[in-house]
Structure 1
Amino acid sequence: MVSAIQEQRDIILDTIKSITRGDWKVLVIDEFTKKIIDNVVKEDDILNENIANIERIEDKREMNPDMDAIYLLSPQPHIVDCLLADFERRRYRKSFLVWTALLDPQMRRRLDVSRQVQEQMAGFETLSIDYFPRESHLITFRDPWSFPILYHPACNSLVRDHMQILAQKITGICVSLGEYPKVRYYRPRNPNHEASVLCSHLAKFVQDELDAYAKFNQNFPPPSSRPQGILVVTDRAMDIMAPLIHEFTYQAMAHDLLPIKEGDKVFYKTVVNEGTAQEEEKDMEIGEKDKIWVNNRHSHMKDTIEKLMGDFQKFINENPNFTNADADATSLNAIKDMLAGLPQFQEMKEAYSLHLSMAQECMNIFQHRKLPDIASVEQSLATGLDEDFRKPKNLADQVVRLLDDENIGPADRLRLIMLYIIYRDGMIQDDIQRLLAHAALPPQDAEAIANLDLIGAHTTKANLKEVRPPTQPLFPRKTVPTAQNEEYALSRFEPALKLMLDDITKGTLDQMTFPSIRPPLDNSEELAAQSQASLRSAKPTWARNRMSTVENRQRIIVFMAGGATYSESRACYEVSRTTGKDVFLATSHMVNPALYVRQVSDLSEDRRRLDLPVDRPKPKAPSHLFVRNDPPPAALPAGPSRLGPMGLPGGPGRQGQLRGPGPPAPPQKSPSYSNANANLYDRPPPQPPTAGLAAMSMNSGSGRPIPLNGTNGADVTPSKGKLEKKSKYKEDSGEKKKRGFFSSKK
């Protein structure tokens, strides 16, 4: 299968290779770009492409006027300041500018009017790499602040610009994958929250960005025999329950129960060489390089443990000296020498030890915290069916009994109460307080429950007499038991994203709930697209000697606004495996249950306490870049003679074309950065620079904001909501009949 990690890696290395062309150059990066590069490329791989040195633009650096430089930079104002300081001092001979995303028109003009820039710039290119592939089919933006910006009532003024940035990043993913997809989005059936229009607006922004990129890049999308891809824009409101449920597949369970460190990389602290003189605590990285992790992360924990123990036993049998306690000292010394000379075996031994330790700790917590009992009730609440696929009975009594169990901690109690209230489609306030008091939870936990309204839940009812029509599930649940072992009865719940993907691959996804920005001409078009190759396959048959099955797989990209769960990531891999398609999940950040509850709780916090990047002081260029201790050297001649008339190498880069310094790109709408991550796409100018080009807007001649209505006759008219603030929420749902622990009916 295609890998988002490999795609981004190839873009970076191919771009560097197309510029160096065998000549040695310096690579200059910034802090943010370094994170992008380190995520997918080894430093040695870059140095092997005729890069003499890698330098940080914010750092103090030696003058190097005899060598050309490649600047690979993020388009931030303070980075442009750093760049102009370098040009002012003529730090390098000639410079090739490569941006991770489109430079804001105002910042671009600063470069265009600089005489030093025009004299020293040898090329200009924009890539589409302002994102972080975490796995082969999982991409994040490392932006947990996206959740409060989209859902916090005090952040309404930030939503439009943030959506524009999200749209640019999503478009970057599509461009990197070579996809110009059909765009669909989630439209809630009976919305009751301000952010209910989030997906429709965001999908429209993405469509506009894709259209603009295609307009200015005639080679996009590249020729392909794949059917046209599909992009579905959805958000956390589509499945409020998924982040609260205990999952028992390895990856999801580990991120829920274990103290895994999340950062630029993922680490788990464990003891290695236990019981030996070399025993030590060590932070072990968990990622794509860890084959044991990759092969087992989506398996049920029962299967994972069996596989780990079987594989480890096989490893011991094949290498008996590693565990032969009866061996004499000579043999033990020989083993130590062997381990020192064969580090790959030590790494393998540590890897098995890591995952056996993680799996065992998960199972210890599973038993100690009564997770089987909790999960049994959770599954009934989430699916609306018991283990026999019938309507569950006495759920209130089961919930109260679990809240009485001292082995069940506060976090699990709160999750259970939240799930129960969502299942009930709201309760009167007195009953919610009664539940919290019975669970011995602090009063502030009521905020987390109430804030679920902001992402589409019904949590309260005005009184006992309020009657709501029963809420229909987004996707019909299976009502016939499937053949399954008893061990998997606690994993009956399937996230809505999985059911959505099932319908997409069958061509039966509801057009009312998941409309297209540009609806198909007729009902058969969607089904036809599933079986026919795209008209994009204009490349003649002789143009490529081989065409693998992988290249023919249709690509589906799902963007989950507000954060995605590991169960949703697993669903994408499962659908990819069973349908012969490539399904990619993109999101602002990954959420585990603890983070989700905390972020929902924070939706009632004062905005000043959220520490949003947009509210922090803007970064500035370091002052040392502007200290001049020596006069700038005279301008040196341009680079090698084989460069073209505009100082270009003799061919285009992978995603864009290197350009000379003269013609400015047509400016387009680009909002201010909230976390230094805007992502639009530079366009090669079709004409020489003119005053008219300088004033162009990509959206309209007047540079007006992007309209929110549909395009090309599409019937896409988002209702007023988060972007045009609603005053109150409406409540609309049903209630039960009997009374028991609560005043309200059940």
Structure 2
Amino acid sequence: MVKNIDPLSLINIQREYLFERIRQVQEQGKLYVLVVDRKIKTLIDAIISKDQLLRLVVAVELIDERRKPQSYLEAIYMCHMSVYNLQCILSDVHTNRYRLGHGLLIPKLGSDMELNHFYNQNFLTEPKIVQYFQNQKLIEYINASMFPLESRCFVVDSSRANAMPIYYNENLAELVPHQIKRVAEALVNVVVVTGEYPYVRYQSSSKVAHLIAQEFQSQLDNYARLNIDYPPPQTNRVRSVLLITDRSLDLFAPLLHEFTYQAMAMDIVESLEKEGVYKFNSENELGEISEVNTEIDNEDDEEWVMLRHCHIVEASELIISKINDLIKNNPMLVDRTKAKTSSDLLFIVAHLKGFDEERKHVSLHKLLIDECVQRNDERKLAEFAADFEQTCCADGITFENERNKHLHDDLIELLARQDLLINDKIRLVLIYGLYRGGLIEDDFTKLAMFIGVDNKQVELLVSRCFVNFAKLGFPLIKSSPKDKNSDKKLYHSINNEGTFNTSRFIGGLKNVLQQVTTGTLSEEEFPYIRERPLEDELPKTEAQTSTSTTSGPQAFRTSRVRATWADLSNTKSSTRKTTSRQRIYSYVAGGMTYSELRAAYELSKELDKEVYIGSETLLRPRDFCIGLQDVDINKSVDRINLPLLQELRGPRDAPGYMFEVPKPPAPPQSSSNPNPALNQQYNRLSQGSSISSKPMTPNLSSKASMHSLSPSGGDKSSPSKKKKSKFKIFSK
């Protein structure tokens, strides 16, 4: 398997950044333990291998788990700044758990009065803390607030929770400021580790996007004031742009079924949809069959990276070609005459001696692609539903460039089918409502009755899913047939020149990002939060028309003076790459779709740019419809599972056992010492002296080295049980 060595991959950039910060605090000849909180533990498990970590430290320990005293080690604390984590560090100091402490703390860039007071008045003034961190000389602040999912994709944190209720449910309004700050911190993390200071644009029709843009600009400016090596030195690369939108930019995208390999696998394969793990039976060269559970979203998997954005038909053809090449290149090891079907090819590959990794991966993807095709056939997604969906998005124009005047009748026929899932029928009704620009409530009720649910469920469908669309800026239900259709601007487009009639839709975000790079994006609809480029910095098309474009609100603009900060710094970061390709960052508040994720990769190739995309989560159609239910006025804060709320309500004090001092070991029964050399070495370690002037290599047989990187201890606080609604249209 080929390792992903892309220097512009967010995974590689964040990994190298964390490595560099750990190395900077280490001294030759000393031993270190890395102490992390649960968020950082999840991050490093995802982007750093255990072997890589154990080259730097002897162990990785959770900050709030029971830990034995190891006074010969120095602790490196990599954790988020919170009262709880600071209390846990205090417990280490009071119990003399480690010899010395080094803080690599992830600060809250937004204001937090409780945390600031505790940190400045209780933590830093503690005499033992002053000694432990050598009067703050050993405390540094790092950027680890975003979670890279792929080379060009990141989320705010590993929980990947649906944020739609936070932004659009008025009952959760008190959580919005906290969520905005978390998003801004993640965005600051992204631009800092990639070495950029971007122009910021936002979707003017979205209050959420405006708030995030303001908070991000404020946090980034504060970061620049506190760090003399930021912003980075000026290069010949065009200054980057950050575009902030929310889910309302494109409401078709989260409802459409995608027919690319990645989207289909994550949407319709049950184990991947519910658990994020693919379960299948694998056969080795001896004919032994075993059940395998694997995460397929792996940047180091060459086949996955090659196939994930292909249409499922193309992916199937490519993987068969890959298998044929594998067999063709090893003719002496197989009997090709036995291959009559694609399943026979898998049997041959399974018995191909050697090539374990390559054989495993091609077999995995062949099985998964076949399952995607099978599930598609069972749900009739491509056969019946897809053409209707695409025609609605095309304003009634078919793949043959003809207007379909009978879409309503087509919808009734689809809703009456017994082989379509209820979830898919609900999607079709919502897509039809968007195409029509809204319908009266009675029409939605009639359509819902065709879906195949009882009257109570029809009522809930209308009240929860259809009515709640208005909270995303599109009133789907009209009070009268005479009312005007929604005048919400649509940014998506249709491509009838492609090969597949199931994939004509081009998402709104992709079109908007294209206009960002060409300078044709309206400043009225997507204003700059503060400064805009000088005319000689604009793409030619924008410079020619800049005098006629409408600027954003004057309150968010400053005089257009060329920035001079770039010439003030001479500090270089090892993660900064000497490339001239402009970087475009996109953030979609409320969840991005797999089609939007794919667009980031496509635009990077098509426009010769580096395009990155982020959000709180990746939305599948079912997730979006669940989100529509959760924004309902009848859903209170305690009826929605929100990791953010659990975090805010989490404990402030460290667990009591953290302050317990273990009893010293009982003296040996005999005074004889069978191994005086070992005893002498232990005494030197206990006194903190180094054994050698050379860098210490962890002894993987020692207890310290073998400390589990995946501790079994769960969270110390259990979230309160949530009330369950009596009826759910979509199961969570």
The answer to whether the 8 A contact 2:228-2:569 is kept is: no
Q: 1:626 aligns with which of 656, 659, 675?
A: 659
Mapped to 1, the partners of 2:527 and 2:108 lie a distance apart of 29
The C-alpha deviation readout for 1:419-439, integer Å capped at 9, x for no partner, is: 111111211111100000012
Partner of 2:491: 474
Partner of 1:559: 587
The C-alpha deviation readout for 1:230-279, integer Å capped at 9, x for no partner, is: 0011110101110110111111122121124369x942111111897521
Q: 2:259 aligns with which of 229, 248, 260?
A: 248
Mapped to 2, the partners of 1:541 and 1:156 lie a distance apart of 44
The C-alpha deviation readout for 1:384-431, integer Å capped at 9, x for no partner, is: 132234544211111111112211111110000011111112111111
The 5 Å alignment of 1:201-212 reads: 201-212=211-222
Q: 1:368 aligns with which of 357, 372, 378?
A: 378
C-alpha change, 1:94 and 1:529, in structure 2 (3 Å) is: farther
The 5 Å alignment of 1:112-123 reads: 112-122=124-134, 123=138
Mapped to 2, the partners of 1:163 and 1:541 lie a distance apart of 32
Partner of 1:439: 451
The 5 Å alignment of 1:701-740 reads: none
Partner of 1:30: 37
Partner of 1:140: 155
Q: 2:329 aligns with which of 303, 306, 318?
A: 318
Deviation at 1:367, TM superposition (A): 2.5
Q: Which letter does structure 2 place at the counterpart of 1:273?
A: E
The answer to whether the 8 A contact 1:101-1:129 is kept is: no
The answer to whether the 8 A contact 1:228-1:534 is kept is: no
Mapped to 2, the partners of 1:181 and 1:69 lie a distance apart of 36
Partner of 1:730: none
Mapped to 2, the partners of 1:118 and 1:453 lie a distance apart of 55
Mapped to 2, the partners of 1:618 and 1:529 lie a distance apart of 52
Matched, 1:174 2:191: yes
Q: 1:403 aligns with which of 403, 415, 438?
A: 415
Q: 2:143 aligns with which of 128, 143, 153?
A: 128
Name the Cα RMSD after superposition. 3.3
Q: Normalising by structure 2, report the TM-score.
A: 0.78
Q: 1:502 aligns with which of 491, 514, 532?
A: 514
Partner of 1:48: 55
The answer to whether the 8 A contact 1:174-1:180 is kept is: yes
Mapped to 2, the partners of 1:543 and 1:174 lie a distance apart of 15
The answer to whether the 8 A contact 1:613-1:675 is kept is: no
Matched, 1:610 2:621: no
Deviation at 1:552, TM superposition (A): 1.2
Mapped to 1, the partners of 2:718 and 2:398 lie a distance apart of 45
Matched, 1:234 2:252: no
Partner of 1:463: 480
Q: Which letter does structure 2 place at the counterpart of 1:231?
A: L
Q: Indicate the larger mover: 305-314 or 605-614.
A: 605-614
The 5 Å alignment of 1:473-622 reads: 473-474=490-491, 477=493, 483-485=497-499, 488-520=500-532, 525-527=537-539, 538=567, 551-604=579-632, 605-616=635-646, 617-619=649-651, 621-622=654-655
C-alpha change, 1:178 and 1:638, in structure 2 (3 Å) is: farther
C-alpha change, 1:544 and 1:120, in structure 2 (3 Å) is: closer
C-alpha change, 1:275 and 1:400, in structure 2 (3 Å) is: farther
Mapped to 1, the partners of 2:412 and 2:573 lie a distance apart of 65
SS at match of 1:511: coil
Q: Which letter does structure 1 place at the counterpart of 2:586?
A: V
Partner of 2:557: none
Deviation at 1:470, TM superposition (A): 5.2
SS at match of 2:314: helix
Matched, 1:454 2:471: yes
Q: 2:405 aligns with which of 375, 393, 399?
A: 393
Deviation at 1:540, TM superposition (A): 12
Gaps of 5+ in 1: 189-195, 328-334, 641-673, 677-746
The 5 Å alignment of 1:68-107 reads: 68-102=74-108, 104-107=115-118
The answer to whether the 8 A contact 1:564-1:587 is kept is: yes
SS at match of 1:72: strand
Deviation at 1:474, TM superposition (A): 3.1
Gaps of 5+ in 2: 1-5, 110-114, 339-348, 544-561, 665-685, 691-716, 720-732
The answer to whether the 8 A contact 2:72-2:688 is kept is: no
The answer to whether the 8 A contact 2:231-2:566 is kept is: no
Mapped to 1, the partners of 2:335 and 2:351 lie a distance apart of 15
Q: Which letter does structure 1 place at the counterpart of 2:513?
A: L
SS at match of 1:552: coil
The C-alpha deviation readout for 1:333-359, integer Å capped at 9, x for no partner, is: xx99995xx5xx223222111111111
Number of positions where the alignment pairs a residue of Structure 1 with one of Structure 2: 613
Partner of 2:559: none
Q: Which letter does structure 1 place at the counterpart of 2:141?
A: T
Matched, 1:296 2:307: yes
Mapped to 1, the partners of 2:264 and 2:191 lie a distance apart of 31
Mapped to 2, the partners of 1:615 and 1:537 lie a distance apart of 40
The answer to whether the 8 A contact 1:94-1:639 is kept is: no
SS at match of 1:211: helix
Percent identity between the two aligned chains:
28
Mapped to 2, the partners of 1:602 and 1:60 lie a distance apart of 38
Q: Which letter does structure 1 place at the counterpart of 2:448?
A: L
C-alpha change, 1:133 and 1:530, in structure 2 (3 Å) is: farther
Matched, 1:149 2:181: no
Q: Indicate the larger mover: 203-212 or 385-394.
A: 385-394
Q: Which letter does structure 2 place at the counterpart of 1:484?
A: G
SS at match of 2:631: helix
The answer to whether the 8 A contact 2:498-2:504 is kept is: no
Higher relative contact order (CA 8 A, sep 6+): 1
Deviation at 1:322, TM superposition (A): 5.7
C-alpha change, 1:524 and 1:394, in structure 2 (3 Å) is: farther
Q: 1:59 aligns with which of 57, 65, 70?
A: 65
Mapped to 2, the partners of 1:288 and 1:536 lie a distance apart of 36
SS at match of 2:408: helix
Deviation at 1:630, TM superposition (A): 5.0
The answer to whether the 8 A contact 1:167-1:202 is kept is: yes
The answer to whether the 8 A contact 1:227-1:529 is kept is: no
Partner of 1:714: none
Deviation at 1:101, TM superposition (A): 3.4
